[in-house]
Amino acid sequence: MSAGEISIRPARADDVESLRELSEQLGYPSSLNEARRRLAVILDQQQQALLVAETSDGTVVGWVHGILRPLLLEPPHIEIGGLVVKAGHRNAGIGEQLMHAIEDWACGMGAQEILIYSNVIRDRAYRFYERIGYEGFKQSRVFRKKI
Ligand SMILES: CC(C)(COP(=O)(O)OP(=O)(O)OC[C@H]1O[C@@H](n2cnc3c(N)ncnc32)[C@H](O)[C@@H]1OP(=O)(O)O)[C@@H](O)C(=O)NCCC(=O)NCCS
């Protein structure tokens, strides 16, 4: 499909319902109140960018979240905290536009690298990332402890 007229802009607090719905499509359901709380924290942080893709009629059809990670071991990099394009709007170049926009932001933040941690179940997303210039360079185990 064709993306039509898409603009990329920073997310606002009143995007919360669309962001919540799209997060659910990524496999991360939450209540509206929880989404509102999380969004407020992100919007308050200078070191994070949450960008949305919007159609000409104002419908939010995708988002990408970038987080600046200052590290002792390496120069600061940007981690992608999530990327999703609304079902029915995929394969039209919107994901690529979102990634280019977050790359521009990342350059402006002085980062030299963008890292994406992608679940092994998302093999279609792997092809997408490789096509837009990312390379898989490491496989990791993820450990967690409920606290
Ligand atoms: C991965 C994802 C974000 C990509 O977004 P998208 O908007 O579909 O991406 P694009 O349209 O830029 O590119 C996707 C495909 O469409 C093709 N494409 C791009 N522009 C196109 C156009 N104008 N016409 C036809 N096809 C096009 C590309 O070749 C690409 O093919 P590929 O899958 O072999 O890489 C989207 O599929 C998605 O939200 N998936 C579910 C959630 C997910 O996996 N997120 C990533 C978590 S790590």
Tell me, what's the pLDDT at 87?
A: 96
Distance 3 CA to ligand 1 centre (A): 11
Distance 48 CA to ligand 1 centre (A): 23
Using the Cα atoms of residue 86, residue 20, residue 70 and residue 7 in order, give the sign of their dihedral. Answer: positive
User: For a substitution probing ligand 1, which of 1, 18, 19, 85 has the most ligand atoms within 8 Å of its CB?
Assistant: 85
Tell me, what's the pLDDT at 121?
A: 79
- Mean pLDDT of all residues in the chain? 95
Residue nearest to atom 24 of ligand 1 (CA): 92
Least confident of 33-37, 80-84, 117-121: 117-121
Q: Please state, in angstroms and rounded to a whole number, the distance separating the CA atoms of residues 89 and 87.
A: 5
Tell me, what's the pLDDT at 14?
A: 98
Identify the band that residue 64 occupies on the pLDDT scale cut at 50, 70 and 90: very high
